[in-house]
Amino acid sequence: MKWLLTVGFIFWFGFIFAQEEDELYCAQKFSGSENIQKVRVNMDIDSSGKVGLDIKWVFPRLKAEQDSLLLEMKKSESERHKWILDHVACGKLELKNFRFFESEGDEVQEIGYEIKGTLSGFCRKIGDRLFFSPFSFSGIKNLRLSPGEEEVRYPVAQKDTISVRIPEGYVVEMGISPVFLYSPYGEYSTEISCFKDNLYLKRNFVLNAGVYPKEAYESFQLFIQQVQLQDRLQFVLKPQNK
């Protein structure tokens, strides 16, 4: 199995690891400093748990293993909207605006998406508390490993910035601590700060290129599982007077 390089996001083609080679998009072999994928997420949570969502997803110009993504870009607005709604995996999205974009004339061209809307089901309200995992938009979702030699074809660095506006009258009851993970296979780190009613988070994930023998299977799997565990951590918000 080849581990094709894709981007971490909320859609079926967005998993960093997958086995369906004919449905993946593979980044061109840029240098490590150029091969940086970015997700910018702005969330505005209200007291009911609904989330006003503004996402911009950017990655180096892709070389498609198949032409399906490029075909989607050429479809009508209504068809593109239906396509994006069919593939959201972090809740129910009421879409206000969605567009593809691609840069022109840059040495390393970029392609990506901008999404604006309202998301239900992402932030859970239990009693008077709100629970949400801020790294769900860019975390590694499905991971199916088989014991054997694995190849990470190209190196990747993913840098995500996330801003969360806390609803009026709420405070953070339980947060997430910053973390740094290192292994021969890559690195993972988070930075977290709070100012007034806003949380600011940074998530950096680096996957090193290489061919890893079957003897390294368990340690490779452990690193990825540690990353997944961090990406599932939650914030808990409570009313200020409780």
- Mean predicted lDDT score pLDDT of the chain: 75
Q: 236 falls in which pLDDT band (50, 70, 90)?
A: very high
Q: The domain containing residue 183 runs over which residues?
A: 2-239
State pLDDT tens for residues 23-63.
334 444 445 455 677 888 999 999 999 999 998 877 665 54
Per mean pLDDT, which range of 99-103, 172-176, 185-189, 198-202 is the poorest?
A: 99-103
Which one-letter amino acid corresponds to residue 133?
S
Q: Please tell me which residue, 125 or 68, carries the higher pLDDT value.
A: 125
Which residue, 61, 84, 60, is CA-closest to 72? 84
Q: How many domains does the chain have?
A: 1
Calculate Rg over the CA atoms of the chain: 18
Q: Which residues share a beta bridge with 45?
A: 51
Judge contact between 49 and 128, C-beta under 8 A: no
Report the CATH number at residue 190: 2.60.120.1130
Q: Please tell me which residue, 78 or 17, carries the higher pLDDT value.
A: 78
Three-state DSSP class for 128?
coil
Q: What is the pLDDT of residue 6?
A: 37
Q: Which residues share a beta bridge with 199?
A: 164, 194
Stated pTM of the model: 0.78
